[in-house]
A = this chain, B = another copy of it.
Amino acid sequence: MAYLQHYTPDMRFVKYTLCCLFLIAAIKLNAQQLTWSEVEPGIWKAVAGKPEAFDLLKTAGAVPYHAGLVEMGKTSFPLSQADITAKIIDGKTYLSFPLDHTEQLYGFGLNFQTVHQRGKILTLHVDNYAGKDDGHTHCPTPFYVSSKGYGVFINCARYIKVYAGTAVNRDSKTPPKIQDRNVDKDWKSKPYSDNVVMLVPAEGAEIYVFGGPTTMDAVRRYNLLNGGGCLPPRWGLGFTQRMQRLTDATGVAAEAKAFEDKGYPLDFIGLEPGWQSKSYPCTFEWDKTRFAEPKTLVQDMLKKGVRINLWTNPYISPESHIYKQILPYTGNYTVWNGLVPDISMPEARKIFFGELEKDKVDIGVSGYKMDEVDGGDNYLWPDVATFPSGHSAEQMRQTYGLMMQRYVTELYHNRNQRTYGLVRASNGGGAALPYVIYNDYYNHQDFITALINSGFAGVLWTPEVRASKTAEEWLRRFQSNIFSPMAMINAWASGTKPWTFPEVADQIKQLANLRMQMMPYWYSEFAKYHFQGIPPFRAMNLEPGFMGVDVPKDAPKKNINLEENPYEEASQKEIKDQYMAGENLLVAPMFTGQTTRTVILPKGKWYDFYTGKLAGDGEVITVTPGLDKIPVYVKDGGIIPMMPAMLHSPKAGDKVDIEVRYYGDKPGSYRLYDDDGETFNYEKGAYSFREIKVEKLNGKVKGSISNAIAGKPNTIGNVTFKMMTE
């Protein structure tokens, strides 16, 4: 005890008190000086306060795809470090990031109605989307990118409140103009703000900054930090039909036969709640009256090239045989009277995912559709729920979808088998997980906006087709759907089929066939999502030469004062009805009732996807495509590798002929991805990108493809070239 003897108790008290006061002062009054370290090339991390161990990246199991980040090379820190501040006050983290007059912001998760996020106030909260872009959405990723070419990510599993360029700091160096509402006619209700501020309800958080120089670079780095985007199995990119909820084994077989007989492609069938003996809450057991021999059914279907996907939510019925065993590892509030397993605990995971594996994954089921892990509040566990892991209801809400994806994926990874499924909630960190988000909302226009925003949020989204009032709507929705991450009819309630509207049944078949023909393109684009972090479906704003194209001259103009409201101009150009699908395609969906629309073509020449004809050159065109066509354009020199239309995706080892379609005048090149299409062997190098090159010389196509690499899977048969532009 010698070390204590220098002090009298009083002195110790004084020193202790002084120390406390100093700490309090440091916490209360000063913004923390953040220290940035480059954790991957072009990605910097700073730690504010004491971040929680249960964060998004760890919960998602994200492992950065280092090789992809190295390949992107070096870049410089994109912001003034002094202008990024963090304070910890009363257990909350206050963050501020700079903005300048010219920036537009994108991201903050899967928004449905807006692409531009500057000027928004959001509470990032996993939730069922309720018709308003206020941060409550299926995937409220705390990640944004700027038009200036950088990104910011907050690695925290809490409800983060964001003011994205609305708050005006009293001590701002670039303050807005003072006005007088009494007489100034241009008085602004929203003065200029030079910051993004966030309240993170935790004692600290990890902050990541992603360098550019382009906005796409920042997006790519974010996805690569997540481990790279997911790579679905080839069959995942085929066509899928979800059946009416109470169908039975006979119904499933009949459905597959009908597709076959009528000549519509089909890769997997989804079974809705009725496969379970009871649902809401769930038993996770096959209903023996509807599915007497599930293994036989699943295997028979597999032989026909059709996989089975199973709906479930995680809420456990007292009649499930795992109920008693899992009870100690569940939250203290139920959902539809079902237990909520605390899947952040290994004990719960062993039981719960064991149940999802047994008689399901084990018998050949290809994947899951994981429903209702998002909210809303009116059915989910309340924020006062507690979980035996000690994780709060809020943390569980923000991560449940992530964890469901991660641990189901692990079941498949353990057997070296890829899966591709559906989920209704995700969050930051989840880009590598092979799931597509869907929901109950059903606005076609907003579905396209979501598809655009998915590319900023590290998720995939399907504008699924459920039911339609008219053949026109059916066709228009289907057209968008085949240019999305999952081509799907979700007939759980309606029982609709692709041929439900006979007057457009042929067009639907053509579209479904087109989806299949484009598989080499889709698959290669997903490979780029995985290896390079490039989102396969994304905003025009990420396309070079887009931001410089003028909007139509007759578009309604607002009264713009750039000095005062610099982002007004950018907001006028908010484009929510066209998007990029992979490297070379610009998709401009048509909506019910529309016969004509404008399309903004980025700088350079663009060609009609179907005819190869020149559509325009960095300009706004007006098109009248007719009911049968969704306008799609290919960039100059664009290459689209196609395969023959097939009813089911090629199996591992099958050789498939490729027709390389080439558009425009410029020399083109394309990286065609190849692997076995079904396993994770690509993680160990069993893949290749083969280089396609095409030139048009004197009206003739001269094409080449690099040789297959010895020892790598090779599914590429004959390669032919087709010059689309005469």
Contact = CB atoms under 8 A, between A and B. Distances in A.
A144 to B, nearest CB: 16
Contact of A168 (B182, B276, B333, B386): B333
Given A178-B317, A181-B280, A168 B337 contact: yes
A273 interface: yes
Nearest to A1: B9
Interface string A262-305: 00000000000110101111000001000000000000000000
5 contacts: A91-B91, A161-B383, A178-B281, A182-B274, A182-B287
A571 interface: no
A379 interface: yes
Interface in A153-200: 161, 163, 166-171, 175-182, 187, 189-191, 197-199
Interface in A103-157: 121
A378 B28 CA distance: 26
A49 to B, nearest CB: 14
Nearest to A336: B191
A331 B170 contact: yes
Given A121-B377, A390-B28, A246 B333 contact: no
Contact of A384 (B199, B331, B385): B199
A468 interface: no
Contacts of A385: 167
Contacts of A161: 382-384
A318 interface: yes
Contacts of A472: none
Contacts of A333: 167-170
Count of identical protomers in the assembly: 2
The A contact surface, by secondary structure, is loop
A111 to B, nearest CB: 17
Nearest to A290: B182
A384 B198 contact: yes
Interface string A654-672: 0000000000000000000
Given A382-B166, A383-B199, A384-B163, A337 B178 contact: yes
A386 to B, nearest CB: 7
Nearest to A28: B390
- Which bracket fits the contact residues of A? 35 or more
A90 interface: yes
Interface string A321-351: 0000000001111101101000000000000
A96 interface: yes
Given A4-B4, A197-B384, A332 B171 contact: yes
A280 B180 contact: yes
Nearest to A167: B382
B384 A180 contact: no
Contacts of A318: 178
A94 interface: yes
B197 A382 contact: yes
Most B CB contacts (10 A, CB to CB) among A91, A201, A336, A378 go to A336
Interface in A66-114: 87, 89-91, 94-96
A613 interface: no
Contacts of A170: 330-334, 339
Contacts of A386: 87, 89, 94
Nearest to A338: B178
A4 B182 CA distance: 71
A201 B28 CA distance: 19
Contact of A191 (B198, B287, B337): B337
